[in-house]
Amino acid sequence: MSPRLVRPLVWPLVAPPRLVYHPSVRPLVGFSLIGCVAAGALLMAAPPPVPPHLDGPAARWVTETLEAMTLDQKIGQLIVPSFRSTYLSSDSESYDELVSLVHEQHVGGFLLFGGREPVPNVLLNAGYSRSVLGQPLAAASITNRLQAISELPLLNSADFETGVGFRLTGATTFPSAMAFGAAGDDRLAFEAGRITAREARALGIHVNFAPVADVNNNPRNPVINTRSFGEDPAAVGRLAAAYVRGLTEGGMLATVKHFPGHGDTDTDSHLGLPLISHPRARLDQVELPPFRAGIEAGAAAVMTSHIQLPSLDPEPARPATLSYPIVSGLLREELGFDGLVYTDSMRMRAVTDLVEPGEAAVGAIAAGHDIVLHSPDDPAAFAGLKQAVEDGTLTATRVDTSVRRVLEAKARLGLHRNRSVSFDTLPLVVGTRAHLGVATEVSRRGMTLIKDERGDVPLTVPRSASVLYLSVLDYPSGWGNGAPSRTFLPALEERWLNVTAVEVSDRTSRAELELVRASVDRYDAVVASVFVRTASFSGRMDLTRDVADLLRAVARRSAITERPFVTVFFGNPYAATFLPELPAMLLTYDFYDLAEDSAVRAITGQASINGRLPIALGDQFPVGHGLTRPGR
C-alpha cells in the first residue's frame, strides 16, 4: 500500500504592503526599517514559524506514512539530488532525468542550484565563468512540478548563505557572514535569516544550508574565510544562533555547518581532504561551541564536513562524512542532536578520491547521517544503500530511524498538508525594497576602517580634483555574477568630474604596471579597490607580487607628494596583512554592487563607519579593532 497522495494547496494571494522606504535614505531610528519589514510581513501570506514539536495529526501522518512505505521509498528518502533553476521545459531530457529520480529512486527532495553555461576547455585563457544565477519563477515552477508528481512531499534545500540572491537573480542578497560579524548586531542576523526564509519558502525551498558555524581562525583558509562570522567562538555562536532563530521564525529549517568545524584548515575540501590535528580539548574550546549554540537555538539540521580529525577518529584518511565516532558518537550521543544530519556535497574530491558513490552513500548513512547530498551518481547511491539493507550491512531499523526524521521534518513544515507555492505571491515576497534595505543596513554597518594614518578618510578633495582609480584584481577570470568596480567606478564619477580608471591583475605586464606607477603624480588623489577571492576549487587567495608592489610604490609616492591614497579591500580581508605600507585601508568582506556602493559612501563621508574587526589581522589589528568616522 502506497502512502496517500495529499493534494497540493497554494498560499493565498493578497495585496502587497505599501512601502515608503528607499535604500538611499538612512532610517532615522536604528531599527525603524526592521520594524517596517515586520509590519509588512503581517500583510502578506507567509508560512508560520517552524514548530518545535509535531501536533497530533502531523505525528499520526508520520507514523502511518512510515508504516506504509516500501523499502525503495525508504531508501529514496535518504537521497537528495540537485536541479538548476533556469527555465526547464517539461518536454526535455533534463526534466525527464528529474522525473526518473522521483519515480524510480523515490528521492526525498532536491537541492537547488543556480544556472550553468557551457564554456570551452582551452589553454592560456581558460577564464570563462560557467555559473550564472537562476530565476525565481523558474525555480518555483520546477519545485511545483516535481511536488505534483511525487507520492510523498519533497523536502527541498539550497545553499542560501547570503540570501536567496546567492543563487537566484532578483532575490535579496545579504553581505557575507563576516560582515555581520563586523556589524556585531544579533538583530541583523535574525532579520537576515527571517527574510531569507520568507523568500525561500515562496520558491518551494524548505531547508537552508546556513548558517556557517565554523570559527575562521586560519588566515590561509581557502574555503571558509568570509563565510564565517569571525574567529571568536562566542561571537560566532551568538550570531549563528540569531540567524537560526530568524530562519525558524520565517518557516524554514536551519542547518549549522560544517560540523565539527572547518575554520582552521588551509586545504579546500573541494580539492582534497583537509586535516585538523588539534586535540579534543581545543575542539571543545574553539570549534564546537558555535555548533552547540546553533543547536540550542533550534537548528533542525547539521551538515558535516569532509575533513579528518585524528583526535576524534584515529582512522587514517577517514573524513567526518564517513566517521561513526564523529557523527554518531560526538554529534548524536555527546551533543544530543536528534535532528537531520546532512552530508556536504558528495561530489567534492575529499570524498570522491576515496570511495565510489555507492560505497560513499552507505558509509555516510552507517556513520549516522540521514541524508546523502548531491551524490555524483544518485542511482548508484540508491542501489548501494538498497544492497546494504538487503545484505545486512545497514539494518532496517537504522534506515527507519533516518526516514522518520525526514518525515518529521516535512510534517513540521506542514508539507503533508500543503506542498505547492503560488506564482502570484512570489513577486510580492522575493527581492522587495524593504528586504534590500535590511541588506543595505548590514553592509553599511559592516564597513571597517582599520587604518587611516594620514586622515584621508573621508576623502575631501574638491569636486574638480583629478582622481586615479585603480581596480586591482587577483585575476580577471571567473567574475560570472558581476564585473568588479561596476558600481564603485560610476559612484566615484558622480562625485568627481575627472576620474581615470585603470584595471590591473595578474595578467597585467610589468611594463604596464610601471606606466601606471609613473603616472601617479598627475593626480590629486588615488583610490584603489582590491578584489581578492577565496573561491571554491580556485586554490588562490592572493595578489601577485608585481601587483602588490605597485600598490606599495603608490603608497610611497603619495607620502612624498602628500596626496590622499585610500584602499578598499573587497573579499578576503586577510589580504590587507600583506600590504602594511598602505596608509588608509577599509574592509568590506564582500563583493559586488551593495558592498561597492557602501564602500564609496564610507570613504566619501556620506555614511558613518563603525565596523569592528571580527578577526585578527596580525598583531597590529586585533579582534575588535576599528576606527570610527561620523557620516554627514
Contact (Cβ atoms closer than 8 angstroms) between residue 380 and residue 358:
yes
Q: CA 595: distance to chain centroid?
A: 16
List 609's β-bridge partners, or say none.
629
Contact (Cβ atoms closer than 8 angstroms) between residue 524 and residue 461:
yes
Q: Whose grid coordinates read 601587483? A: 547
Q: Which residues are catalytic?
A: 270, 344
Cα separation values, 160 from 102, 147, 164, Å: 24, 21, 5
Question: In this structure, what DSSP letter does residue 255 have?
Answer: E
d(CA 532, CA 474): 5
Side chain identity at residue 260, one-letter code: P
d(CA 546, CA 505): 9
Q: How far apart are the first and last CA of the chain?
A: 70
d(CA 475, CA 541): 10
Q: 462 exposed, middle or buried (CB, 10 Å; 0-12, 13-18, 19+)?
A: exposed
Phi then psi dihedrals of residue 207, to 5 deg: -125, 125
Phi then psi dihedrals of residue 338, to 5 deg: -120, 20
Contact (Cβ atoms closer than 8 angstroms) between residue 83 and residue 346:
no
Contact (Cβ atoms closer than 8 angstroms) between residue 469 and residue 84:
no
Q: Can you list the positions of beta strands (E) in 558-600?
A: 565-571, 584-587
Q: What share of the chain is helix, strand, coil (3-state, %, to 5)?
A: 40, 15, 45
Nearest CA among 229, 341, 331, 233 for reference residue 282: 233
Contact (Cβ atoms closer than 8 angstroms) between residue 360 and residue 281:
no
d(CA 218, CA 264): 5
d(CA 136, CA 203): 7
